[in-house]
Amino acid sequence: MERSLSMELVRVTEAAALASGRWMGLGNKEEADRAATEAMRDVFDTIPMKGTVVIGEGEMDEAPMLYIGEKLGNGYGPRVDVAVDPLEGTNIVASGQWNALAVLAVADHGNLLHAPDMYMDKIAVGPESVGQIDIDAPIIDNLKAVARAKNKDIEDLVVTILNRERHARIIHEIREAGARIKLLPDGDVAAAVNTAFDDTGVDLLLGSGGAPEGVLAAVGLKCLGGELQGRLLPQNEAEEERCRKMGIENFNKVLLMDDLVKGDDCIFAATGVTDGELLKGVYYKGSRATTQSLVMRAKSGTVRFVDGTHSMKKKPGLVIK
Ligand SMILES: O=P(O)(O)OC[C@H]1O[C@](O)(COP(=O)(O)O)[C@@H](O)[C@@H]1O
């Protein structure tokens, strides 16, 4: 993949963030998501690539755009697989909370896990703790290993986990071990990526969230030299069947980094929609708006933060609401 593709792709997440940020706090997650999806779709067609959506807004009959199998790009660049979440954290935007992102990942054709839309158990850490975690080990062992790797006491660690009833046992075990916790209302892609940045103050992500989000986070962590381990959690026979349809026979298998995204020819791009620990959200002032994005390429290991100032007058399609 050409390295210039990363800078092109950040325009896609910027557009989705600019469109959906307008819906912050308005209590309408569907419209916020629709705005992000339409804006993302429009810009994709200007990007020099032959892309196919492998993680998107749903199957062809469920989603009008960015559906699995949809072709993206202007047809002239590399053949790539694309994972998108135009608005990661629809409820976050609707209620004006933290860490909503417009996010995508691109990898060489055939290199992204075609993760079905179901839960995935996850453990994610930044570079210092790579090789130290084990999704099958007791929580306390993982906490001890990460504390050792980061030269911290367990009491110094901060674990992020979605604030869900299904996580009651894990939360109890983390508290028993003495580590601190950040309970998230939503948004475990940002939370996973945050583990790779000291400034965010977050050491580990634990618990289950969306499987598509797990693949997106794995690409982000691959670019940052971190690690995510996952395991699909089909809840019923229909979900097991969906795994098989996506080519996943052994859904109990622990998914390691190379199962989630093969090789290192992959790009991750995200733009903040609402403020987060890592990225600022969209700010509007008159006819201008500012964005902050993160764009990274695993092959080169380059991590870029991109601040954008946009003239909304020149992007009339984005003055949505
Ligand atoms: O809300 P659930 O069912 O626990 O699902 C968790 C998933 O939902 C999210 O919090 C937000 O997803 P949406 O943007 O689709 O609302 C993800 O970050 C996370 O992986």
pLDDT 10s digits, 136-149: 999 999 999 999 99
Sheet holding 119-125, edge to edge: 180-184, 158-162, 204-210, 119-125, 227-233
Interval 181-199: pLDDT, tens: 999 999 999 999 999 999 9
Q: Are strands 302-311 and 227-233 parallel, antiparallel or unpaired?
A: unpaired
Task: Please tell me the distance from the alpha carbon of residue 272 to that of residue 294, in angstroms, as a whole number.
Answer: 9
Who contacts 121 (Cβ-Cβ below 8 Å, separation ≥6)?
A: 135, 207, 208, 230, 231, 233
Q: Report the pocket of ligand 1 as residue ranges, CB < 6 Å.
A: 87-91, 162, 164, 186-189, 209-210, 213
Instruction: Find out whether 119 is annotated in a ligand binding site.
Output: yes
Instruction: Identify the three-state secondary structure at position 235.
Output: coil
Distance from residue 30's CA to the centre of ligand 1 (Å) = 14
Distances (CA, A) of 202 to 4, 152, 157, 193: 31, 13, 7, 10
pLDDT above 70 as % of the chain = 98
Distance from residue 144's CA to the centre of ligand 1 (Å) = 28
Report the CATH number of the 2-109+263-309 domain. Answer: 3.30.540.10
| pLDDT at 48 > cutoff 80 | yes
Instruction: Find out whether 141 is annotated in a ligand binding site.
Output: no
DSSP class of 242: H
Distance from residue 202's CA to the centre of ligand 1 (Å) = 19
The separation between CA 113 and the C-alpha centre of its own chain, rounded to angstroms, equals 14
**ipTM for the predicted complex:** 0.97
Distance from residue 58's CA to the centre of ligand 1 (Å) = 14
Instruction: Find out whether 166 is annotated in a ligand binding site.
Output: yes
- Residue 7: count other Cβ atoms within 10 Å of its Cβ: 14
Q: What is the pLDDT of residue 314?
A: 78
Q: Indicate left, alpha or beta for 288 from its phi (over 0: left) and psi (-120 to 50: alpha).
A: beta
Q: What is the pLDDT of residue 321?
A: 47
- The predicted model gives 34-40 an average pLDDT of 96
Output the average pLDDT for the chain: 94
- The predicted model gives 11-27 an average pLDDT of 97
- The predicted model gives 81-106 an average pLDDT of 97
| pLDDT at 61 > cutoff 80 | no
Assess contact for 56 and 216: CB atoms under 8 A. Answer: no
Instruction: Find out whether 187 is annotated in a ligand binding site.
Output: yes
- The predicted model gives 295-301 an average pLDDT of 95
Q: Which of 76-80, 163-167, 316-320 bottoms out in mean pLDDT, i.e. has the lowest?
A: 316-320
pTM of the model: 0.96
Instruction: Find out whether 8 is annotated in a ligand binding site.
Output: no
Domain definitions of the chain by residue range: 2-109+263-309, 117-258
Cross-strand pairs, 51: 72, 80
Q: Which atom of ligand 1 is nearest to the CA of 164?
A: 4
- The predicted model gives 12-38 an average pLDDT of 97
Distance from residue 165's CA to the centre of ligand 1 (Å) = 14
What's the pLDDT band for 316 if we cut at 50, 70, 90?
low
Q: Where are the alpha helices (DSSP H) in 163-313?
A: 168-177, 188-194, 211-224, 237-245, 257-260
Q: Which of 160, 162, 171, 235 most suits a substitution to test ligand 1, by most atoms within 8 Å of the C-beta?
A: 162
Q: Which of 98, 205, 213, 215 most suits a substitution to test ligand 1, by most atoms within 8 Å of the C-beta?
A: 213
The token pair that represents 35 in the structure block: 């705005």
Report the CATH number of the 117-258 domain. Answer: 3.40.190.90
